[in-house]
Amino acid sequence: MTLEGEPEPTADEVARAVAARVGRPVSSVVDFDEGMNAVYRVSFDDGPDAVLKAGTVTGGSKLLSGPVLLERIDRETNLPVPDVLAVAPDGDEHVADTYFLLTYVDGRHITDVTSLSASAHERLVREAGRHLAAIHDLPFDGPFGRLHASDGELFVDYGFESWAECLGASVDYHLERLEARFADLEPAIEDAISRFPSVVAEDGIDKSVLYRDYHPKNLVLAPDDDARPLVRAVLDVNFRPVGDAPLDLAIAEANLVDLPMGNTDRAQPLRNALRESYVEARGGTHETYVDERYPYYRLVAALDFMCHFEYFGSFGWENEVDHVADRLDTFVRKRIAEIT
């Protein structure tokens, strides 16, 4: 999933930039070598480590939305997030790209929730429901679209006044990038999503800042499966969208349950736990969030997997990646049938 962008800063350039920003001697810099932008763990001669993220792919105001949203989440919710140490909106003489510096949160990094014990997996989805609810309760006054930031303020560039139009544009983007093995599904997906505006009233949309990417690689977990809470930090909140809150729930469900555990006995209890936790945290009833919109959102949530299946396919419970693809194909066809 690596995307092309600006050349990444060297370890020496990062060390000089951080030392100048925080006034502490740097002892080592390690490239995380994953994700969209350049990310580095920075260690000092003494004291806790830090993380530098440079906008080599999504820079400028897109990247700056990350520290602004992190600070707001930290002030207004109980969500565990890293502290923002420094922000360089225009880069500097050492690192040319926009970058920011965060506290490093020590803990466990996993890519696959199937590595967790059954009880830890359930606690993870329950914590996820509470985390998403906290983010969705943050008020935002503006159009639908992706968040940017300038001078410490969040805004949406190229926004949509209609959520149906915004969702349709996102679906079109994904359909243009479907992997070949799923190409035959494109017309049916397009037809299904075209029905969304006639089903959902715009004044019924729960406009919220969406995390959009709640999956294991964006979390820091406690070392022990028995730890409470299990999640030590939620990471990576730059360039997040403003949209309808239940879409975020469906995406988390896809990442934490549908892809890794679908068609197993554990899947539905985990879905129920995620949804129950979310509803308890936000208020209302199950039907407030899991209503006629939800089949559409479960379908949309699967599109990321279908565009990057070479990556996501490894996270299913099956031994053969082709079996994961067959299950995903069946899942999508079921969502289309629910809609049409």
300 touches 189 (CB < 8 A): no
Q: Is the pLDDT of residue 241 over 90?
A: yes
Q: For 199-230, what is each residue's pLDDT tens digit? A: 888 998 999 999 999 999 999 999 999 999 99
**Residue range 157-178: mean pLDDT, rounded:** 96
Identify the CATH class of 113-339.
alpha beta
Specify the domain boundaries for CATH 3.90.1200.10 within the chain.
113-339
Tokens of 204: 């019924």
* Fold held by 11-103: Phosphorylase Kinase; domain 1 (3.30.200)
**Residue range 130-156: mean pLDDT, rounded:** 97
Q: What was the pLDDT predicted at 2? A: 43
Q: What was the pLDDT predicted at 4? A: 61
**Residue range 112-137: mean pLDDT, rounded:** 97
Q: What was the pLDDT predicted at 215? A: 94
Outline where DSSP puts E strands in the chain: 26-31, 38-44, 50-54, 84-88, 99-103, 145-150, 153-156, 207-209, 219-221, 231-234, 241-244
Q: For 76-107, what is each residue's pLDDT tens digit? A: 999 999 999 999 999 999 999 999 999 999 99
Give the global pTM.
Answer: 0.96
288 touches 275 (CB < 8 A): no
Q: How far apart are CA 189 and CA 316, in angstroms?
A: 22
Specify the domain boundaries for CATH 3.30.200.20 within the chain.
11-103
- DSSP label of 256: I
250 touches 301 (CB < 8 A): yes
- Sign of the Cα pseudo-torsion (318, 320, 325, 326, in order): negative
Residue length of the chain: 340
Share of the chain above pLDDT 90, in %: 94
Tokens of 172: 């079109």
Pairing of strands 241-244, 145-150: antiparallel
Q: What was the pLDDT predicted at 1? A: 42
**Residue range 132-136: mean pLDDT, rounded:** 98
